[in-house]
Chains A and B, each alone.
Chain A
């Protein structure tokens, strides 16, 4: 069974440029999460989807971040414009049940903003 797929794995951009990350969750997993992970720290939730509905986006900086999951399957996370402080690993995870502790994480996208 394929795991959570994310692309790209690495992205280097200059500040003020836009960037987008893509995630394809495990088939059948209705819940999808986007996390931000800074170096040496644990993941921090940005947004959680139940099917195509964003049920918790309270931690998403909405002035520059946006996300969508139009058909309730794959999802994109966008930053526009990127800032130096956005450099981090962006992790996508999915779970079979809502708010399950057993979340399956993708490998992440490492973003470097110069």
Chain B
């Protein structure tokens, strides 16, 4: 069945450093992936998405990498800022079905 998970439940990084948040998925049929950021007391906020015909996509300070061979997805945040502190979720989609969210990784930015 579908399964989305994260390697690390918490991640602490120094302000200004780069952050890498990882996500593993088990269903090779998944063809669309998204990353969301959720700050305390708020709903998730869309960050970036990637389709399975791509292996890299860049946004503003963020890059998503997709490795279909090992079913791995990562979110890279450049020059991490205090405002990046949040829980990050990856989610997968199979051919237009509903999105399945992973459990999340908490990112803490240290001053």
Would A99 and B43 count as touching, CB distance under 8 A? no
Would A107 and B103 count as touching, CB distance under 8 A? no
B40 smallest CB distance to A (angstroms): 11
A49 at the interface (CB under 8 A from B): no
Q: Which of A40, A99, A101, A104 lies in contact with B104, CB distance below 8 A?
A: A40
Q: Beta-carbon contacts of A6-47 to B below 8 Å, as 1s and 0s?
A: 000000000000000000000000000000000011111100
B67 at the interface (CB under 8 A from A): no
How far is A16 from B45 in the complex, measured between Cα atoms in Å?
33
How far is A37 from B102 in the complex, measured between Cα atoms in Å?
11
- Does more than half of chain A's interface fall in helix, strand or loop, or is it mixed? loop
Would B104 and A107 count as touching, CB distance under 8 A? no
Would B34 and A41 count as touching, CB distance under 8 A? no
Would A102 and B42 count as touching, CB distance under 8 A? no
Residues 37-66 of A contacting B (Cβ, < 8 Å): 40-45, 48, 56
B contacts with A, residue count (CB < 8 A): 21
Q: Beta-carbon contacts of B64-104 to A below 8 Å, as 1s and 0s?
A: 00000000000000000000000001010100111101111
Would A44 and B101 count as touching, CB distance under 8 A? yes
Give the size category of A's interface with B: 20 to 34
Q: Which of B43, B49, B99 lies in contact with A108, CB distance below 8 A?
A: B43
How far is A107 from B42 in the complex, measured between Cα atoms in Å?
5
Would A45 and B43 count as touching, CB distance under 8 A? no
Interface residues, chain B, CB within 8 Å of chain A? 4, 32, 34, 41-46, 49, 89, 91, 93, 96-99, 101-104
21 contacts between A and B (CB under 8 A): A40-B104, A41-B103, A41-B104, A42-B4, A42-B91, A43-B89, A44-B101, A45-B99, A91-B44, A93-B43, A99-B93, A101-B34, A101-B46, A102-B34, A103-B44, A103-B99, A105-B42, A105-B43, A107-B43, A108-B42, A108-B43
Interface residues, chain A, CB within 8 Å of chain B? 4, 40-45, 48, 56, 91, 93, 99, 101-108
> What 10 A-B pairs come out closest when comparing CB atoms?
A42-B101, A105-B43, A101-B34, A101-B49, A102-B46, A42-B89, A45-B98, A105-B44, A99-B96, A43-B101
